[in-house]
Amino acid sequence: MSQPPVRGRFAPTPSGLMHIGNMRTALLAWLQVRSAGGQFVLRMEDIDKPRCRPELAEQALADLRWLGLDWDEGPDIGGPFASYVQSERESFYHEALEKLKEEGRLYPCFCSRAELLMVASAPHGLSSEGPVYPGTCRMLTEEQREERRKDKTPSLRIAAPSHDICFDDLAAGPQRFPSSSGGDFVVRRADGIISYQLAVSVDDAAMGITDVLRGYDLLDSTPRQLLLYETLGLTAPRFAHVPLLLGEDGKRLAKRHGGMAIAAMRANGIRAEYIVGWIAAHSGLLDRPEPVRPDELVELFRLDRIPKEPITVTDAMLRQLTG
């Protein structure tokens, strides 16, 4: 039986400027797809509307295109699975919620909104969503739920199964997550915003995504998404979680480390080919940083060449890039 064509994607959240860390993920995801002769999809994950800004979405498209990446479907060019903007796809998420409700998998949660604030955003590890939910509201009677509804609009949680979740990650290897690791998680916040976990799962399935390459910080979100695929009767993609770039403080490289924004580098006269070559050298694809275009790396890309451990970006390494 012939395999379906590879379809991969990159899905930035327009709540900040693109920086060298998420641009590296974009480049590696693009190379994985292009090296397989597949189709690359760009999707804007702006489901958390209060945090996202349209001008940042436009800037992300400009930064990606300037670096030399292209896409076959996306918010600016359309495609057979439009829209490619999450805030315009809410009807799909509500259909999924109805199905989960019909399956008897959802229950209302009346816990503090402060505990749930981050669930719409793409998390950087489950720790960003707070500790594992202890199931406080899972066993409430219908009478108790009706009484609490008088004072508070609930969020919706999915009742997680009691079995472990296992999968083979193409970059990180075999994974096993015990049932206790994720707990019952929120799929819709009390303010009506759909969670990242539900939106990304519904969208990847609807768009026929076969392969997802992303940062290692999202590895422990994967069991939650696999649970949603299983419960909704959807086909899950293959996952590859690659080690992160870290700052010298040991934290995930981000705009807080300064000088990381692609737009700032471009404004300072740094050529796109230098950035691509720097990323490639620190991702195992080149022996040393040298100017190169993304299309020149396609034949060099293999997942097994990417380092297995996080890479600490030192000041000296940054000087290689910024001069």
Q: Which residues are annotated as a binding site?
A: 9-13, 45, 109, 111, 133, 137, 196, 214, 255
Q: Which phi and psi (to 5°) does residue 169 adopt?
A: -90, 130
Cis peptide before 162 (omega within 30 of 0): no
Measured CA to CA, the distance from residue 116 to residue 218 in angstroms comes to 18
Binding residues for ATP: 255
Measured CA to CA, the distance from residue 242 to residue 307 in angstroms comes to 8
Binding residues for Zn(2+): 109, 111, 133, 137
DSSP string, 29-65: HHHHHHHTT-EEEE-B---SGGG--HHHHHHHHHHHH
Measured CA to CA, the distance from residue 27 to residue 298 in angstroms comes to 10
Measured CA to CA, the distance from residue 219 to residue 171 in angstroms comes to 11
Measured CA to CA, the distance from residue 269 to residue 259 in angstroms comes to 13
Q: Is 161 helix (H, G, I), strand (E, B) or coil?
A: coil
Cα dist. 280→103, 286, 288, 297 in Å? 46, 6, 8, 8
- Counting every residue written for the chain, the total comes to 323
Binding residues for L-glutamate: 9-13, 45, 196, 214
Q: Which phi and psi (to 5°) does residue 289 adopt?
A: -65, 130
Strand intervals (E) in 202-257: 211-215, 238-242, 245-246
- State the distance between the two ends of the chain, measured CA to CA, in whole angstroms: 51
- 59, 262 in Cβ contact below 8 A? no
Cα dist. 287→242, 273, 279, 280, 306 in Å? 19, 15, 11, 9, 12
